[in-house]
Amino acid sequence: MSKVPAEFADFVKAKQKQLLSNVVTSSFIGVALANIAAFFAGDASWTVLGATLEAQVPCYILLVVISFLTAFGRK
């Protein structure tokens, strides 16, 4: 489906933006909740959570870039 009919172009762009937002926010919230649960369960310390966050930031930046390119890179 490389070509989108003109009457659906605005709808497709809106859905692409919505999917981009959903992917980024759901992944961020999922990992954040997992870290909070691990902390309260006693499986993680502040040091571990800090290191995990440090490792996740580049992953989130990459996720945003890839999602953006996937949604808006093709014409």
Give domain limits for the chain. Answer: 14-72
Cα–Cα distance, 15 to 70 (Å, whole number)? 12
Quickly count helices (H) and strands (E) in the chain.
2, 0
- Are the C-beta atoms of residues 60 and 27 closer than 8 Å to each other? yes
pTM for this model (two decimals): 0.55
**Residue with tokens 């172009």, as numbered in its chain:** 9
Checking if the pLDDT of 51 tops 80, the result is yes
Q: Which residues of 2-31 are buried (b: 16+ CB within 10 A; e: fewer)?
A: eeeeeeeeeeeeeebeeebeebeeebeeee
Tokens of 33: 């909740």
Checking if the pLDDT of 41 tops 80, the result is yes
